[in-house]
Structures are given as structure tokens and as C-alpha cells.
Structure 1
Amino acid sequence: MRRILTAISLFVFLILLGCADQTAEPVSEMSPDNPFHVELNEPIQYSALTPADIDEYVTVTIDQTNSKLDGIKAEEQLTFDNTFGIMDVIMDDMVICYTNASMMYDVSTDSLTRIKASKGYQRIDSMFTSITSDKELFEKLNAFATSESGKELQGAEERLISQIIKELKRSGVDLSPQDQKTYKKLNSEITALSTAFSTNMSAYDDFIELDEEQADGLPENFKIQYKLEEGGYKIPVNNATSDPVLSNASSSDIRKAYAMKFYNIGADGNLALLDSLLKKRYQLGRLMGYESFAGYNLERRMAKTPKRVWEFLNGLTEASKEKALKDAAGLISIRNTELNLPADNNGGKDPIDPWDISYYQTRLLKAKFNVDNEKIREYLPMESCMQGMFTIYQQLLGFTFKKVEEASVWADDVEMYEVYDGDELRGRFYLDLYPRANKNTWFHAQPLVMGRQTEAGYEIPQGMLLGNFTKPTDQLPSLLSLRELNTLFHEFGHIMNLMSYEGKYFTLAETKADFVESMSQIFENWIEDYDVLSSFAHHYETGEVFPRELFDNIKRAKEAASGLSLYGMLRIALYDINLYDKYDPEHPLNTDQLWKDIETDMGIMPYYMEGTHRQASIIHFNTHPVYVYGYLWSNVYAEDMFTEFEKNGLLDAETGMRYRKLILSNGSQRDVDEVVEEFLGRPTNNEAYIKSLGL
């Protein structure tokens, strides 16, 4: 499962975080040599950053924010510019500070920098909590919003006012003093717990050591990377190695040993932290007047209520069950053939062990469809995939990407690109694609600057794509699986969504959290077209074009596995909504038992492995609660919007530009369904989505 992710509404998300100590001495201006002290659109010199620079940057941002807030509260002649206009500037400055600190926590190679970054973004969290509980500030803003001048405003200004007022109310500004105190305390505790959870994931460092016999079945190009000088292999347990080992190792015992470690990443500390997060978030939801945290969290989404999410997920579960059972029977059949188990023997009917599922899926692909995932990798070297992807996005969206040589970045293998629209600089993105010690282990797109109009010109969007793809070596380039290529196209879609924003206000830059994935999911369709894929998928040694026969086999194999594929996503989405909608303080959830209960209810296949705790390393349950359903919800829109490209041509620049201008650049300036309907020329429907499931 990918992450996404990551591209939530930063203003909204940060409001839900916590508070921490703010004891630093006020500083009005940053030192001239602080790398964060930059002019508009000047890149930050990340390679020169010190822990003290982060500390000063956060302190100055908080100090200047307090000064601007005091200015709003002192105003007597209220206007849009001196109330909501300056609030948009305040939120933009604080989010840029927050995202830079949180990014450095995720990626920095220096431990002290990570510590300072962690403390820094928690201090910004504290400032957000102070702002959203400031009754004097709220009364001043509300006074303008309800004035004749405020009520006359339309368009983006009207939406900006509405959004800020709603979020302030949702964030406890109307609570009693005692409840406000409780709100702040809960947010502070949630932030601390969430940070500790992420730290435990990033700090996990385990491996398996294999001799030549134990490594049987592992791809040779994979083994080369982890070969020891004295013989044998030392393979780290992480997201980059899980698929090669679990899908290919010949020994079931080795697969089990690896899975036992992989599904326990972060478990030593994160099980207790997750229990505490569930309790604190439940208390927060109840404090805000909702039956559950899910109810509180979903109110701002398209889904609106837990009831609609349950109906959506249960409906998909029922619709996919017959196909998923058929897919599971196919795996059991190949298992029985491999192990020479008679079908009428009870052993031949037993479900597949959890650690063997990926292996038999791979065996089925080879036996029935002649699809070898490791052979596919040979046609997908990272460099050519990246260039092919760049070509597609540039042609469709009218952008030009220019790599900045010798850019100032935080690690040697990080790259920086500038994005142009004609001669105009439109944005900047960083690529941090390969794993290293203490780096965040997931895959996601991180917004750094959302974009807005300033007095000095347009503040360009900036972002970072974080990945953990297999590193290149002296012998081999980084070779992607189809799943990883899909992830690359998806996450880069988030970067393009970010680069496309053209709004006047920061606050309106992000769309609904259960629509945002659609704008990345749509781009996954391009690699399912042979002409597009073969334009860049060439063998890393021979240059041979991706074989058409292999492509056709992959398409057939995907259709044959569609039920189990959907089941896998539904299982995690149902786990997520159970965590945050069914929490009962009188009978707290056993988060291990929940996996078993969901699998029993779904009645397809037991994925749960006794003695493991997968929930301890699924980042969504920590940082993006009640979010996983959104991948499926968004896909309804993604597949429907893709029909325009199917009709007009996958590389049709006119359709691509309409998509960029109407959908990607919108944020929340206009209603989602309104802009989708304009793009399609009709109301949206789920016909394309149902067809895409192949059920």
C-alpha cells in the first residue's frame, strides 16, 4: 500500500495537532546568514542548515505571528485586508515554517537537526492551538465577517472568510474556558504521541542474515545489493525489501522469519502509543460534540459522516466478495500444485499462511500468465522511468522541468527541479527517492509551500517527493517493480497538483481530503496503456522495448486478481474506520483482535499473522486517521475524469490543460463537484469506477 501522501489540507490538519512549550526569547528578525532567511521564491540552502537555524526560524516565525495577531486585534476600522487578508498571510508563513521543520525531521542525516526540527514543529503546533482558541481574535474576525462589508464579498474572498470561521469554530474557539483548556491539553498530548509513533517507525533498524541456500529464489540483482564480503547476505527489513523477499524467497521459513520482523516494525513502542492516540482522539471528538473522532474528522470531508463511509466500504466489500473468493481459490490451487497437496485432502483446502500469500501470488502470475515481476523490473530502470514520466506530465500539463545542478539539498542523492510555464517560474520540487538511516520509511509527497499572491509577486508552490525505492549500485541501476512505478506516478501526481495551484490565497490551496487522491490516481492510468509505457520502458542492459506480449499478460493478470486487490485495500480501510468510529472507552479495542474480526467478517482470506502487529507501522493510522477509505472514494472521481482522456487521447495537450486549469489548480476555490462536472460536461457518476474494478 502506498502512501500517499500525503497532500492533506495543511491548515486544517495542523489545527488538529497539539501544543508544546514556547519559552524561547522573542526575536524580530532572522540572522542574515540563516538559510531560511530568503527572498521571495529564492531556494533555501538546505545543505547549510544547522540545528540553531531551525530553532531561530521557528522563534522568529512565532514572534512575528504574535505581532501580526496583535495588529488584527488592535484594528478599529475593519477591512478584509486587515483581518482575513492578514490571517491568510499568517497561516501561510506558519505552515511554511511547520512543513520545513517536519520535513527536516523526516529526512535530515543529522540527529541533532532532527531533534530540533521535531521540537520546532511542535512549537508551531502550539501557536496554531493558541490562534484557534483566541476568543478576542475570533470576535474581531467574526465582526468583519458579519458586517455589511463582509457579507457583500463574493468569490474567493467569501470562501476564504467562510473556511477560516468554520475551522476556528471547529477548533474550540466557542468552548468554555475549562473545555478550551482540555482541548489544548488533548492536542498537545496527541502531537507528542504522534511524533513518538513516527520516530519509532523511522528508528527501526533490523535485518535478516541468509546463507546461499536460504537466499534461494531471491533475484540475483537484488542479492547483489546485500551481499557480504565474507559470504551470505544481510538484508534490511523495510519497505524497499519486503516485496522482493516475501514474493520470491523459496523457503517458507525464510518468508515467515522476514514477515515476523516486517510486520512488527515499531511494535515495541507503537502499540501502546496507538492505544493512547485512540483514547485521546475519542476524547477530542466527544469534547467537540461528536459521537466519535471519526464523526468529528469526517465533517469537513465529502463523505461528511461515518455512516456514509460505512455504507461505501460495506457496499464495495459485498460487491467484490464473489470475485475475491474466486481469486483466493486460485491461490490455494497453485499452492496445492506447488506442494503436491490433493484437492480433496483437508490440507488442500486450508487457507494459505499469511507469510506465503505474496509468494503464491507471484507463482500464480508466472504459472498462469507468464508474468515474472522480477523480469519486469529489468525494463523499468528508475532513470528512464523518471524521464518518461516527466515527458508525459510536461506534455499534458504544459510545464517544463529543469534540473538545478549543484543544488543545495539535505543529502547527496537528493535532486532539485524548477517548474516553468513558458518562461515563467511556476514551482520547485525535490526528489528524495532512496532509503537511508533514520529517514521516514514511507512514500509520500510533502508540500512545502502551497502558493499565494503577495505584494512582491506570486509565491511559487514547492514540494518534495519522498520515496524508499531500491538504491542503485555500481553493478545495477535502481530497478522498479510495476507497483513501484505506479507509486512513482501517483506521488508525482501530487507534486503536479501542488505545482498547478494558481489561487490568490493560501487557505484555499487544498481540496477535500477524500478528493485529493483522485488527482494522483488518475495518472496511474497512463502506465496501463502500452504505447505510453513502451515509450520509456526499455531493458536496462539491452535497450529492448517492453514486450507487447508481456504487457498483455500483465493486463490479464491484473483483471484476474482484481477481487483480492480490492479486498486488501478494503481490509485496511475498514480497520481505520473501526479504530476511530467504534472506540469504546469502557471496552477499549484490542487492535490485534480487530484484524481477526475484520477478516472473519469479510470471509475471504486470513492475512493476520499471529505474533505480529502491522498497525504499529501503517502511518495513516497515526498521522492521517480516518483517511484510507478516501483512496477508494477518490478513485470514483479519478476513473470518471479519466474518461475525458480516453475520449480525446491520453497525450492530448488540450484535455491535459483543461484538467490542469479546472481541477488541479482549483484547491477549494470552487466546489469539487462543480469543477468536475464542468470538466466532464456532465454530472459525475461511478460507471467508469465499477468497470475499472473488473468485478
Structure 2
Amino acid sequence: MSSNNPLLQSFSTPFGVPPFAQIQLDHYQPGIEQLIEKSRAEIQLIAENEEAPSFENTIVALERSGRGLDQAAEIFFNLNSAETSDEMQALANSISPLLTEFGNEIMQNEQLFARVKVVYDTQSGLSLDKEDHMLLRKTYLGFVRSGANLSEADKKKYSALSNALAMASLKFGENVLAETNGYELLIESEEDLVGLPEGAIDAAALAAEEKGHKGMWLFTLQAPSFLPFMEYVENRELREKMYKAYMSKAFKGDEFDNQEIVKEIVRLRFEMAQLLGYDNYADYVLEERMAEKPQKVKDFLNDLLEKALPKAKEEVEELKAYVKKLGDDITLERWDWAFYSQKLKNEKYQLDDEMLRPYFQLEKAVDGIFQVAQKLYGLTFKKNDDIPVYHKDVQAYEVEDESGKHISVFYADFFPRSGKRGGAWMTSYRGQWKTEADHRPVVSIVCNFTPPSATKPSLLTYNEVETLFHEFGHALHGMLADGKYSSLSGTSVYWDFVELPSQILENWLMEKECLDLFASHYQTGASIPADLIEKIKASSNYHEAYQTLRQISFGLMDMAWHSLSKENIDVADVAAFEQTAMQQTDLFNPIPGTCMSTQFSHIFQGGYAAGYYSYKWAEVLDADAFSVFKEKGLFDSVTAKSFKENILSKGGSEHPMELYKRFRGQEPTVDALLERSGLKA
């Protein structure tokens, strides 16, 4: 196997990207097993080195070990999210424990930790720069936080817990994907489509035809299908049906039910935190965050709640009055919110998604965001069909700076398919680091946008364009990385800082100067009219308090799950627990048979456990930081250079507050966010 396993060879591809077409499913497990053995030998050499421990021969050597293994694991798990199959998911269940066990083995290697500790304890006598100090701190804490100081018996316990946790998270994600893919609403009567825009009807007809139901319309729980359905379909019963299908994912007591898995993940995380000497999992997580303590997060969320709740209640009352004015004799329910909210928005601002779609053709939006990157940071993106991709829909670009120097490879993967999990994310197939050479990154964004139909190109909603800008902001953070060490480079920052580069970029989308670069009608080529841009701005705070409350509710629920103590760790009823946690943000009655926790991949599968508050936390940072661009100019070169040099290129090489203050000149205040959100008293 080794002689022809591409995972064990140097990649002879453009820019050394993965040779996707050559990698077969049966290459992964043997390849990863061999790479674990190779890494084990590298670790042994470091641990058994007879020279006295130094920063170079211990900390840097450790940082540089296992490169091949990291690369193979990145390829595998990225594809397991973007292009999976039953066979791949089965492999994940086999590969995941191998990697977890090996990770624990490194972190609990006493000989190795003893060397790390010597360097850590004698650092005052070493001539290290800030980045070196951060690597040393992160390495030492990494060992401690992974059980290096535990007794032999507790180390075994820690390994068992982390293994079980990795498996439970995998299973959680598989169930959510199965539930998302498993639901189909087939409509036979055209009457049931009343209200739906033409594009959504075309897409549903195409989806039905592909499944052998020509002449019918198929709707799914994928965002491009689900969201227009909830916003436009006049048939209230069908909206209710669709909403309940969406909100009951992995909550039906069947083979894909996640209730016991949620309880298991929460309990395993709690036991792991206790074993390491923390009160709960939130304490453990927040030690390595800007927020530092659970109480600080709760205070932050509750402070925002206090400011948003009165306004959110007003927004709900306004919508109820509007429903009454229309003469619709109903009690407003959650499945009515998007529908009537969209109607009222249209009436108030003469604006809805369908008026904007023709100006947001995907290809033009992508070109627009490239122009923004060029104007701000001097980057150019060249499509390169010679760069291997993992699916025919994926596009590959080489990225260069103003001097023509290679900066990164960028992959873009935009449309839903059954092998791709829901949502949108940025990831990388290779990080950035420096030896004698500067090893440049391979970065990817994965989305689930409205696909082209038989009659139209891919025309995005405003929210989808916002998502494009958001994920591209993360991508810039990865692409512009300029550090010595890959574990501190790019998006390897404190989790409540990682959303700043993504969220700040969304602000450009509200500005005429930016929209004029790309927003033109897909048929006539006419630029987006100034009055539409004004309407976008005027409506930008529409139901902002309600949305803020929704984000706060998820943040509070996340903190509730991860702040449990010994006395209450055994949760009996997942839905009841969730309702209690979100109670103070609830503006509607709970709906039996629905649950958010069982499908909340961010916290039970992704990296947002005890960290969902990060989105609102980063909004404070992004609003405050963007106020500088507003003042100096949207594409002001001095401000852009400062943001690039102090934030984007620095990664996690220093504490984020130090980096932020270097850019901003002061700590952030909440004022700019409250003003932007229309929540300022």
C-alpha cells in the first residue's frame, strides 16, 4: 500500500495541493496508520534527545513534527464534511479514535512533558520574541489541559473520555446530516406554491425531476429550499409542516435521535473538565478565550438581552398588529414569523429578497469580493483549472499579492448536495508556517447557496451574499497569515476573536462604493439602483432586536449546557432543559416536538462549545473596528494596511486584545454595535 498511497508521497501537484482524484477511500486508514507510526518516531526522538531541553530542540521540534499526519487528517475530515458518503462516515468512526488516542499519547508522554516543562520554567533566561513566547505558553498549557499532570489512572480515564467524546460528536453530526437529507416535501398542486418566487419554484421543479417526479415540486430542509418556502408560501399549514420538520431534526425517538448523544457529550465534557481541576466545561474552555470566565460571558449576554428585549417585544407586537390589519384571523406562531416579517418589510421599505436577487448573480458577487480584497490588501485571484479539486462544482484559484508573489490557493464550493453538511464554513487543507521558506496556505470556503436553475444562473439572496462575505473574511485571515508557526498562524486564534475578520467584512456590503463594484442586473447589466442601496441600509436594522435575541438565546443555552455542576449534570429531559435556558428570550410559546439542541452542530459537533457567545462578542469588535474605516474611508490604504498587519497576518501570535489595541489604539466599546443595531438608548 505504501508505495502507491498518495497520502504517503510528496504531492506533485500545482502548489502541492492534495491530489484528490488519486486518493481512494482505501488509502485513508492505512495511510493514517503509517503516518501515526512516522510521527510516533519523531516524537520519540524529541523525548529521548540527550541534549539539554531548549526552545529549538523541544518546542519548535514538537511544533514541526507530524506534518504528514496533519495533512492527511485535514484532507480526510474536510472531505467528510464537504463530500461524504456512508463509507467515508464508517471510516471516520474508525480513524477518529486512532487520532484521538495518538493525540493523548503525545500529551501524556512524561518524558516529553518533562522537557517542555524545563523550557517553560526557564523561559526568563531565554531570548524569545513574542511569537516564541506564545508558542511556548500554548505548548505547555496544551499538555496541562490534556492531562499531562494527571496520575497514571487519571490519564487513562482522560484518554477514554476524549475518545468517547470524539465518537459521540461524529455520531451527532451524522444524525443531523441524515435527518436533513432524509426529509422531502413533495408538492403536486400548483395552488400550494402561491406566493413563492419564480426562482424557488424552478429550483423545486428541477429537484423533483432529478428524483423522478417530473411535473411536481420538491422542497427540502437545505437552506436554499427551506428559507424561501418559509418566507413566501401562503399555505400556512404547509409552512407549519415544514417548520416542524426542520425544528424536529434528530428529535423523533428513532435511529437518528440525538437526545441521548447530547446528554452523553455534555456529561463527558463535564467529567473531563472535573478531571483537569475545573468546575465545569465552560471554565475549562474560557481559560483560553478573551472572555476568560463564564460569569463574564453571562453578564455580557444578559447586558445585551436587557438592551434588546424591549425592542424585540415591540417588533413582535408590531407584526401581530400587521397580521390583524391584513385581516388574517390567526395567532402569530413561529412558522408565521418569516412570512409576515418579509411581507411587512416589503411594505415598509418596498424591499424584499426577490427584488435584490437579479443584482446578485453568484459569479459577479465572487468577482466583487475579489475586487474588495484587491482594493484593501492588493490581492489578485486567478482561476486555475490545473489545480485538482474534489468535486466538479469546486473552483480553484491561485492568489497573488501586488508584487506577483504567490500567497495562497483558494477553493470555493458553493452549492448544496447530499454529501455536504448544511451551513457554511471556511477551512484549510494546509496552514502557513516558515522554515527557511515561507510555506503558503491552501484555504477553502464551503457554502450551500441557491444553485442555478434550468432558466436562471445562481442568483443569491442578500443574506447569501452576506454569508459569502463572512466566510471570505475567514478565508482572508487564513490566506494572509504570516507567522513562523502553523499552530499560531491564520485562524488559529482565541475562538471569540476568530469571528472578527469574517464579521467585519460583512459591513462593506452595506456600502454603495462596494456594491457598485459588482451588483448589476444579470440580464441588463444595469448597476443596482441607488434607491435600492438606500433601502438596504434603511432596512438593515429591521427586526435586528429579534435576531439579537435569537443569538443571545443560543448563547445562553450553550452556556447552560456547559456550566452544569455535579448536582445537575444528569439532565432528564433535553427539550425541557433547553426551554428553561432560553426562557427569558422567548417571545413565542414552545412548540412540542421541536428542539434546537439535538441539531445544534455548532456546539455539539463543531468548535463552539461554551463559545457560541463569540458571534455577539465579535460583533462588538467588528462594529468598533469598522468605525475606523467609516471615518477614514472604505478602502483607505493606511487603515487596511494596519488591519492586515496587526490583525489578519498575525494569527494567534499574541494575545488578541494586544493586537486589537495596536490596530484601534484602544479597547473596543459596545457603542458602535448598539448604534449600528439601532439599540442605543
The equivalent residue for 1:4 is none
2:30 maps to what in 1?
56
SS in 2 for 1:208: strand
Partner of 1:576 in structure 2? 558
| 1:389 paired to 2:369 | yes
Query: CA shift at 1:237, angstroms?
Result: 2.0
Q: CA deviation at 1:244?
A: 0.5
With over 3 angstroms needed to count, the CA separation of the structure-2 counterparts of 1:122 and 1:402, relative to structure 1, is: farther
Q: Which residue of 2 aligns with 1:530?
A: 512
Per-residue Cα deviation, 1:39-79 (whole angstroms, up to 9, x for no partner): 69412111221012222331232111111111012112133
Aligned to 1:428: 409
> Is the aligned partner of 1:219 residue 2:197?
yes
1:293 aligned to which of 281, 287, 291: 281
Q: 1:234 aligned to 2:234?
A: no
Q: CA deviation at 1:152?
A: 4.1
- Separation in 2 of the partners of 1:435 and 1:36? 32
- Secondary structure of 1:427's match? strand
Q: Tell me, yes or no, if structure 1 residue 37 matches structure 2 residue 10.
A: yes
Mapped to 2, the partners of 1:597 and 1:410 lie a distance apart of: 44
Q: Is 1:517–1:631's contact at 8 Å kept on the other side of the alignment?
A: yes
Q: Which moved more, 1:648-657 or 1:181-190?
A: 648-657
Provide closer, same or farther for how the CA distance between residues 587 and 108 of structure 1 changes in structure 2, counting only shifts above 3 A: closer
Structure 1 length-normalised TM? 0.90
> TM-score, normalised to structure 2's length?
0.92
Distance in 2 of aligned mates of 1:88 and 1:406: 32
1:371 aligns with 2:351: yes
Deviation, structure 1 residue 98:
2.3
* Contact persistence 1:417–1:428 (CA under 8 A): yes
Q: Matched residue of 1:213: which SS?
A: helix
Q: Residue deviations 1:367-403, cap 9 Å, x none?
A: 2221122222122111111111111012211211111
Structure 1: distance between partners of 2:455 and 2:444: 28
- By how many angstroms is 1:232 displaced? 2.4
Whether the 8 Å CA contact 1:145–1:151 is kept in 2: the answer is no
CA distance 1:656–1:608, change in 2 (3 Å): farther
Q: Which amino acid aligns with 1:615?
A: S
Q: 1:454 to 1:57 in 2, by over 3 A?
A: farther
Q: Give the direction of change, closer, same or farther, for the CA distance of 1:667–1:91 in structure 2 (3 Å limit).
A: farther
Deviates more, 1:315-324 or 1:199-208: 199-208
Structure 1 stretch displaced more, 120-129 or 371-380: 120-129
SS of residue in 2 equivalent to 1:582: coil
Of residues 191-200 and 127-136 in structure 1, the stretch that sits farther from structure 2 once superposed is 127-136
Q: C-alpha offsets along residues 424-457 of structure 1, whole Å, 9 cap, x if unaligned?
A: 21111211111111211121001222211134x2
Aligned-pair CA distance for 1:114: 4.5
Give secondary structure in 2 for the equivalent of 1:559: coil
**Deviation at residue 298 of structure 1 after TM alignment:** 1.1
CA contact (8 A) 2:148 2:155 kept: yes
Distance 1:425 1:650 in 2: 26
1:579 offset after TM fit, Å? 1.2
C-alpha distance 657-35 of structure 1, shift in aligned 2 (>3 A): farther
Paired letter, 1:304: E
How do residues 581-592 of structure 1 correspond to structure 2 at under 5 angstroms? 581-582=563-564, 584-585=567-568, 587-588=570-571, 590-592=573-575
TM-superposition CA deviations, 1:82-137 (whole Å, max 9, x none): 21111111265443332211112112355434533553344222211111111121
Q: In structure 2, do the counterparts of structure 1 residues 33 and 297 end up closer, same or farther at CA, with 3 Å as the change threshold? A: closer
Given candidates 168, 171, 195, the residue that maps to 2:143 is: 168
Q: Gapped runs of 5+ residues in structure 2? A: none
Give the aligned partner of residue 385 of structure 2. Answer: 405
> Within 2, Cα distance between the matches of 1:487 and 1:386?
12
Tell me which stretches of 4 or more aligned residues in structure 1 moved more than 6 Å.
Answer: none
Question: Which stretch shows the higher mean deviation, 159-168 or 146-155?
Answer: 146-155
C-alpha contact (below 8 Å) 2:368/2:518 kept by paired residues: yes
Bigger drift between 574-583 and 140-149 goes to 140-149
What is the distance in 1 between the residues matched to 2:299 and 2:324? 37
Is residue 201–residue 441 contact of structure 1 (8 Å, CA) maintained in 2?
no
**Does the Cα contact within 8 Å between 2:202 and 2:454 map onto a contact in 1?**
no
Q: What letter corresponds to residue 18 of structure 2 in structure 1? A: I
Q: Does 1:96 align with 2:78?
A: no
Is the contact between residue 662 and residue 675 of structure 1 (CA under 8 Å) also seen in structure 2? yes
Q: Summarize the alignment of residues 461-610 of structure 1 with structure 2, pairs less than 5 Å apart.
A: 461-509=441-489, 510-582=492-564, 584-585=567-568, 587-588=570-571, 590-602=573-585, 605-606=587-588, 608-610=590-592
For 1:135 and 1:109, how far apart are their aligned partners in 2? 38
Q: Which residue of 2 aligns with 1:139?
A: 114
1:564-592 deviation digits (Å, cap 9, x = unpaired):
12111111111111111136546515321
Gaps of 5+ in 1: 1-26, 342-346
2:260 alignment counterpart:
272
User: For structure 1, which segment, 486-495 or 218-227, has the greater mean C-alpha deviation from structure 2 after superposition?
Assistant: 218-227
Q: Aligned pair in 2 of structure 1 residues 334, 410: CA closer, same or farther (>3 Å)?
A: same
CA distance in 2, matches of 1:635, 1:94: 36
User: 1:42 corresponds to which letter in structure 2?
Assistant: G
Quote the Cα distance in structure 2 between the aligned partners of 1:532 and 1:147. 51
Structure-1 residue corresponding to 2:360: 380
Give the conservation status (yes or no) of the 8 Å contact 2:6–2:23: no
Partner Cα separation in structure 2 for residue 649 and residue 164 of structure 1: 40
- 8 A contact 1:80–1:150 mirrored in 2: no
Change (3 A) 1:433 1:607: farther
Counterpart of 1:20 in structure 2 is: none
Q: What is the SS of the residue equivalent to 1:437?
A: coil
Amino acid aligned to 1:385: A
Q: Supply the AA of the counterpart residue of 1:600.
A: Q
Which of 170, 184, 191 is equivalent to 1:207?
184
The answer to whether the aligner puts 1:643 opposite 2:666 as a matched pair is no
What SS class does the counterpart of residue 235 from structure 1 fall into?
A: strand
Residue among 173, 177, 183 paired with 2:152: 177
Counterparts of 1:192 and 1:152, CA distance in 2? 42
State whether residues 226 and 235 of structure 1, in contact with CA within 8 Å, keep that contact through their aligned partners in structure 2. yes
Among residues 238, 242, 247, which one is paired with 1:258 in the alignment?
A: 242
1:218 maps to a residue whose letter is L
Go from structure 1 to structure 2 and tell me whether the alpha carbon gap of 1:586 and 1:101 turns closer, same or farther (over 3 Å shift): closer
- Contact 1:246–1:355 under 8 Å retained in 2: yes
Q: Is 1:691 matched with 2:664? A: no
Deviations along 1:313-351, one digit per CA (max 9) or x if unpaired, are 00000011111111111111122123345xxxxx7xx5x
| Partner SS, residue 26 of structure 2 | helix
* Counterpart Cα distance in 2 of 1:676 and 1:385: 29
Matched position secondary structure for 2:272: helix
> Percent identity of the aligned residues?
25
Deviation (angstroms), 1:642? 1.0
